[in-house]
Amino acid sequence: MSNIDPILLLSAIIIVSTPILLAAIGELVVERAGVLNLGVEGMMITGAVCGFVVATLSGSPWLGFAGAALGGALLSMIFGILTQLFLSNQVATGLALTLFGLGLSALLGQGYIGVKGPAVPDLYLPLLRDIPVLGPILFRHDIIVYLALAIVLGVWIFLNRTRAGRVLRAVGENHDAAHALGYKVVRVRLMAIAFGGACAGLGGAYLSLVRVPQWTEGMTAGAGWIALAIVVFASWRPGRLVLGAWLFGGATALQLALQASGGVQIPIEYLQMAPYLATILVLVILRAGRAPGSLGRPFHASS
């Protein structure tokens, strides 16, 4: 244990949790609007490849992130149109979206395997970065880390402090009532789905442009499913979402650091389990909140 530098560890936790956090906050908004989109993994990986391709072609990582958000949002619109306009089953369509995204990304990324993308510079925060302890932990990251946290804060304000946010929640809680009040249920949901897609895309691009950073097929390796779990874990609340993502990222980073420190006495199998175990445990302790009332139910104005 003594070999682990806590500053480096905490800094690693923030980086490890960022892609999951981005994907999860998007899905949270989607689910608060009453839609269950299981295609997060597919949208993430599509974002990862779109981001990488755009960044490589343009030489700008920022354009890459924009491309990733756009790619994720476009893909989510397939899901949106199928489930909202054609009333297809959300679970089946979401799963199909994941499969489609995995295949599509492999196809799009064919010429980019092994290619090196442009580097994403750390955001240079003078003074703040030099604060002892806190500086290296909090203020020496790339801008996307802060963007992710800003999005979470923005979502919290939107859901709790704005009229539009309350409309979205009304749509998610009881779409028939919201419809009777004159709100455009389908339109609100489509917008939420697009937002979810864009966030998942950003999360994927964070993997391909910052964390790995390169394109390889299947590189999200289940991060989308973790994001889905964390939304439930957070009882659909943005604040807890951050906690969940950090907890999961923390357990992941800690188990690697423990192994690397060379002084572990804990069997590695337990360390491997730790992220999942910790997440489940806290979930039980906090007790899952109530899901949005209309979550996953199809809506048609005539019913």
Binding site for other proteins (CB under 8 A): 3-5, 8-9, 12, 16, 95, 98-99, 102-103, 106, 109-110, 113-114, 116, 207, 211-214, 216-223, 252-253, 256-257, 259-264, 267-269, 272
CB of 72 to other proteins, least distance (A): 17
User: Which residues partner with 122 through β-bridges?
Assistant: 142
Q: Find the shortest distance in angstroms from Cβ 36 to other proteins.
A: 18
**Toward other proteins, which CB reaches closer, 88 or 259?**
259
Q: Give me the least distance between CB of 8 and other proteins, in Å please.
A: 4
Give the list of residues 6+ apart from residue 117 with CB closer than 8 angstroms, or none. 52, 55, 56, 61, 64, 208, 209, 213, 214, 215
Minimum Å gap between C-beta 117 and other proteins is 10
Least CB distance to other proteins at residue 274 (A): 13
Of the pair 123, 167, the CB lying nearest other proteins is at: 123
| Pick 255 or 294: Cβ nearer other proteins | 255
* DSSP symbols for 211-230: IS-S--TTTTTTHHHHHHHH
Q: Where are the alpha helices (DSSP H) in 59-184?
A: 61-80, 90-108, 134-138, 143-161, 163-173, 175-180
Instruction: Tell me the torsion sign for CA atoms 164, 170, 171, 176.
Output: negative
Cα 39 versus chain centre, distance? 12
* Nearest residue (CB) to other proteins, 4 versus 81: 4
Nearer to other proteins, 172 or 213 (CB): 213
Q: Residue 24 CB, nearest distance to other proteins (Å)? A: 16
155 Cβ contact partners less than 8 Å away, ≥ 6 residues apart: 25, 28, 29, 238
Shortest separation between residue 182's beta carbon and other proteins, angstroms:
41
All residues at 6 or more sequence positions from 239 whose CB lies less than 8 Å from its CB, including other chains = 156
Q: How far apart are CA 297 and CA 15, in angstroms?
A: 35
- d(C-alpha 273, C-alpha 152), whole Å: 28
Among residues 270, 220, 193, the alpha carbon closest in space to that of 98 is found at 220
- Nearer to other proteins by C-beta: 201 or 292? 201
Least separation, in Å, of the C-beta of 218 and other proteins? 6
Residue closer to other proteins by CB (options 24, 171) is 24
Q: What are 142's strand-pairing partners?
A: 122
- How far apart CA 127 and CA 133 sit, in angstroms, is 13
Nearer to other proteins among residue 44 and residue 155 (C-beta): 44
For the chain, give the number of residues: 303
